[in-house]
Amino acid sequence: MRAPRIFRTLAFRIVAVYLAVFALSAAAIVAFTYWSTARALNAQTDQIVDTDISGLDERYERLGLAGLTEAIVNRSAHGGAALYLLADTDHRPIVGNLDSWPSLSRHGGNLVEFDYERRVGGHNEQHRARGREFTLTGGFELLVARDIAERYETERLFSTTLPWTVLLMVLLGLIGGILISRNFLVRLDVINRTSRDIMAGDLSRRLPFGQGGDEFDTLVANLNRMLERTERLMRGMREVTDSIAHDLRTPLNRLRNRLEGVLNGGGAQGAVRDEIEAAVDETDRLIGTFNALLLIAEAEAGVAREKMQPVDLRRIVEGVVELYAPLADEKEISLTLLPSGSAIVPCNPSLVSQALANLIDNAIKYTPTGGKATIAIQNTPAGTALSVADSGPGIAPEDRTRVIERFVRLEASRHSPGTGLGLSLVAAVARLHDAKFELGDNRPGLKATLVFSTGAKHPQPAAQLPPPRVAVKG
Amino acid sequence: MRILVVEDDLEAQRYLVNGLRESGHVVDDASDGEVGQTLALSRQYDVAIIDRMLPGLDGLKLVAEIREHGNTMPVLILSALSEIDDRVKGLKAGGDDYLTKPYAFAELLARIEALMRRRQPASVKTQLQVGDLELDLLTRTAKRNGSAIDLQPREFRLLEYLMRHAGQVVTRTMLLESVWEYHFDPQTNVIDVHISRLRAKIDKGFEAPLLHTVRGAGYMIRARA
């Protein structure tokens, strides 16, 4: 299954990356603040402890163990955050406000941290303390420390809130990202949908502007300018085609008229007459090539796209097959249209008929007497496939793309009649219909296939068409 | 028959007018749309041949104008334009037939003769007859000299078209357009093959052939004169 569309949008991806960077840096800042706060608090505790120690040290110097003991008793009585314990060599408490010698975790030098039980409002609580440990002469052990539960509380608070803070940040960013990308998507959707419609034919349409004059509107304005240009080029192309058509057809018309005039006037006899008739035929061939070129140009420019209508391909094929059946018969080629249901395809029936006529014409032309040509309509996953397969010599794989080009005629067919534009026209008609045109191997022979995609691009009408007529077999 | 020719290419016009006169028609000519319109509306013609691109008044507009004045004379539009939908535009404007330049004179002549024939009140015929060949349009059957001829539906339509234009030249393009409704030029002359099959069915074994080939033009069905 694919991810929902919103997760595949650029806007969403940008938001996600931004969010990740944001969450990481936020976490880093919080962690740094925590670390430096903890450091400052420790330094403060250490300083207080050191001051305390220097006071005790002074008494010990002056008054010895007894003075120290007295000072500890006095100081312990305050019951604040200061902790003292004087113990003997076996860590048995002598004096102080700790019940027993705690297990110490050492932090370098005589710096220690430890947990102890503290009485708070009638019950015991586990507290942490930080301080220094000394060994006095005579093996006495002295521990001077301060309760750092407060700092610990802060630390705990930090570590429990940090993931939630980050999570909340990610969630808010996610919601923001979805909202932003939805906004993007809606606007892009409009642009995409309209572009598709325009590509399908109506070049005079333009993309709609938003309210804001934002980047999207700049994009729309640029696209519209491009469309303007395309439309102008197409119109130009149409005008050029029209004027070429007019300017070449008029003299061709005169040429043909003059030649015909000579023939009809009866002035030419014998060999001269034959020559003039040949010249008329040559003119007609020239006209044929010229018309085919114009038609290809028109089909390629998509001029006829507006003329598309949903038509049963089966009917078109039956018509053309019927037209060519006697020709195939005469050459003893069995021309068969394989059975199929109706296949509604949006197309220009005239152009598709002509393209198919070219394919069947070729199949008959190049298939030797006694061969066969088979036409089939199939519904494939890619769309509706119309194929013309023959048992002729086929086209070598390396020549297959080349024959579609204009005027390319393979050596083998150079001497048979034709303009060399037949397959180019089929290719142009295919392009006009967004259909795929393929030449393949029929083993032996050529298999030409046109695949009309039956995507949702052109909505199909709900109207029912009458059942196809019975094909006339050749 | 009186024919109006509106064509701005003077050489083409001269050729057209000469050809038509030689074929026994009375021809008036005009080389721009406005003169053409004046002639069309002030005189009676059996058919008009109008070029699509004319100075003064465009060919299509001229046809539309003529039609707006209630004139129903058959009009053949000549065009040097190529667009696929040009024919449709021409016929929509009120033209009865459409021929792309360059054309063979025989093609043009066959078409205007068919147009003039069409103009005569079309009696609703249920039966067509040429010599001893009979075509019953209701039962869709053909008989020659009393014996039934078995025809495929398309062959029937082909024969019907030929018989409706009996005594007239019918070109291959006219057949392709009217019987098959195709407006393109098949590379191979498929129509000839259809005609020879039809000929085998209606003329084979009979002394007098009815379906004739007119050299350089097309076909004609005709009883022996």
- Please report residues of A whose CB lies closer than 8 A to that of B103: 253, 256
B213 has which bridge partners? B219
Q: Is there a domain that residue A437 lies in?
A: yes
Q: Do A254 and B12 touch (CB under 8 A)?
A: yes
Closest-CA distance of chain A to residue B112, Å? 17
Strand order in the sheet with A383-390: A334-337, A372-380, A383-390, A446-452, A436-441
- Give residue A461's pLDDT: 36
Instruction: Name B212's bridge partners.
Output: B220
Residue A248 belongs to a domain: yes
Of A301, A322, A341, which one is at a domain's C-terminal end? A301
Among chain A residues, the shortest Cα distance to B102 is held by A253
Residue among A294, A327, A350 whose CB faces B82 most closely: A294
What is the rounded distance in angstroms from the CA atom of residue B54 to the CA atom of residue B8? 6
- Domain stop point among A301, A320, A335: A301
Higher pLDDT, B215 or A321: A321
A462 belongs to a structural domain = no
Percent of chain A with pLDDT over 90: 14
Residue B101 has its nearest CB partner, among A250, A324, A353, at A250
In words, the CATH class of domain B2-119 is alpha beta
CB-CB contact of B149 with B137 (8 Å): no
Strand (E) positions, A282-390?
309-312, 334-337, 344-347, 372-380, 383-390
pLDDT digits (tens, 9 = 90+) for A335-346: 999 998 888 998
Rounded Cα distance, A255 and A241, in Å: 21
A238 and A355 fall within a common domain: no
Domain shared by A287 and A336, yes or no: no
Q: N- to C-terminal Cα distance for chain B?
A: 22
Instruction: Give the three-class secondary structure for B142.
Output: strand
CA A434 to chain centre: 21
| Residue A205 resides in a domain | no
Domain membership of residue A284 (yes or no) is: yes
On whether any CB of chain A is under 8 Å from the CB of B105, the answer is: yes
CB contact under 8 A, A353 and B184: yes
Examine residue A164 and state whether it is found in any structural domain, yes or no. Answer: no
Q: Is A249 found in the same domain as A322?
A: no
Which of A243, A249, A303 would you mutate first to test chain B, the one with the most B CBs within 10 A?
Answer: A249
| Mutate: best of A239, A257, A348, partner B, most B CBs <10 A | A257
Nearest Cα residue in chain A from B108:
A257
Amino acid letter, residue A186: V
Which of A136-150, A286-300, B103-117, B170-184 is predicted with the least confidence, judged by mean pLDDT?
A: A286-300
Q: State which residue of chain B sits closest to A308, comparing Cα positions.
A: B85
At B74-86, the pLDDT tens digits run 999 998 775 566 7
From the number of C-beta atoms within 10 Å of its C-beta (0-12, 13-18, 19+), residue A443 rates as exposed
Provide the residue range defining the domain that includes A325: 308-452
Percent of chain B with pLDDT over 90: 52
Residues A360 and A230 grouped into a single domain = no
Chain B interface, best mutation among A234, A240, A250, by max B CB count within 10 A: A250
Helix, strand, or coil here: A394? coil
Give, rounded to a whole angstrom, the gap between the first and last alpha carbons of chain A: 50
Residue contacts between A and B (CB atoms, under 8 Å): 119
Region of residue B141 (left: phi > 0; alpha: psi -120 to 50; beta: else):
beta
Closest CA to B78 of B98, B57, B92, B104: B98
Q: DSSP letters of A95-125?
A: EES-SSPPPPEE-STTEEEEEEEEEETTEEE
Q: Could A254 and B9 be called an inter-chain contact, meaning their C-beta atoms sit closer than 8 Å?
A: yes
Q: What CATH number does residue A365 fall under?
A: 3.30.565.10
Residue B150 sits at the chain A interface (C-beta within 8 Å) = no
Looking at the structure, tell me whether residues A94 and A134 fall in a common domain: yes
Q: Which fold has domain B127-221?
A: Arc Repressor Mutant, subunit A (1.10.10)
Helix boundaries (H) for B152-216:
153-164, 172-178, 190-202
Q: What is the DSSP string of A31-51?
A: HHHHHHHHHHHHHHHHHHHHH
| Sheet arrangement for strand B170-171 | B170-171, B218-221, B211-214
Contact B11/A358, CB-based, under 8 Å?
no
**Measured between alpha carbons, how far is A173 from A185 in angstroms, rounded to an integer?**
18
pLDDT digits (tens, 9 = 90+) for A235-246: 787 777 777 777
Domain with residue A262: its CATH number is: 1.10.287.130
Q: Judge whether B12 is closer than 8 Å to chain A, CB to CB.
A: yes
Contact A113/A105 with Cβ under 8 angstroms? yes
Contact A388, A375 (CB under 8 A): yes
**Beta-carbon separation of B193 and A365 below 8 A:** no
Nearest to B190 among A250, A277, A327 (CB): A327
User: Model confidence at A450, in pLDDT bands (50, 70, 90)?
Assistant: very high
Q: Which of A253, A353, A361 sits opposite B182 (nearest CB)?
A: A353
Domain ranges of chain B: 2-119, 127-221
Query: Do A280 and A152 belong to one domain?
Result: no
Position A460 confidence tier, pLDDT thresholds 50, 70, 90: very low
B103, A327: Cβ pair inside 8 Å? Answer: no
Same domain, A79 and A149: yes
Contacts of A431 (CB under 8 A, 6+ apart): A299, A300, A437
- Domain count within chain A: 3
Q: Specify whether A275 is located in the same domain as A329.
A: no
Residue A146 pLDDT greater than 90, yes or no: no
Best-predicted range by mean pLDDT among A97-111, A126-140, B161-175?
B161-175
Amino acid at A442: N
Residue A175 lies in a domain: no
The token duo for A360 is 């069947």
Q: Tell me the mean pLDDT in the region A312-326.
A: 93
Burial of A347 (0-12, 13-18, 19+ CB in 10 A): buried
Same domain, A148 and A24: yes
Note whether A244 and A319 are same-domain residues.
Answer: no
Instruction: Note the pLDDT tens digit of each residue in A350-406.
Output: 889 999 999 999 999 889 999 999 999 998 888 899 999 999 888 888 888 777 776
Mean pLDDT of all residues in B183-191: 82
Asked if the Cβ–Cβ distance from A261 to B153 is below 8 Å, we say no
DSSP for A180-212, please give it.
HHHHHHHHHHHHHHHHHHHHTT-TT--PPP-SS
Whether residue A161 has pLDDT greater than 90: no
Closest Cα partner for A474 from A365, A373, A366?
A373
The amino acid present at B97, given as its one-letter code, is D
What mean pLDDT is predicted for residues A44-71?
85
**CB nearest to A361's CB, from B187, B193, B216:** B187
For an interface test with B, give the residue of A237, A306, A323 to mutate (most B CBs within 10 A).
Answer: A323
- Predicted confidence at residue A315, as pLDDT, reads 92
Radius of gyration over every alpha carbon of chain A, rounded to an integer in angstroms:
47
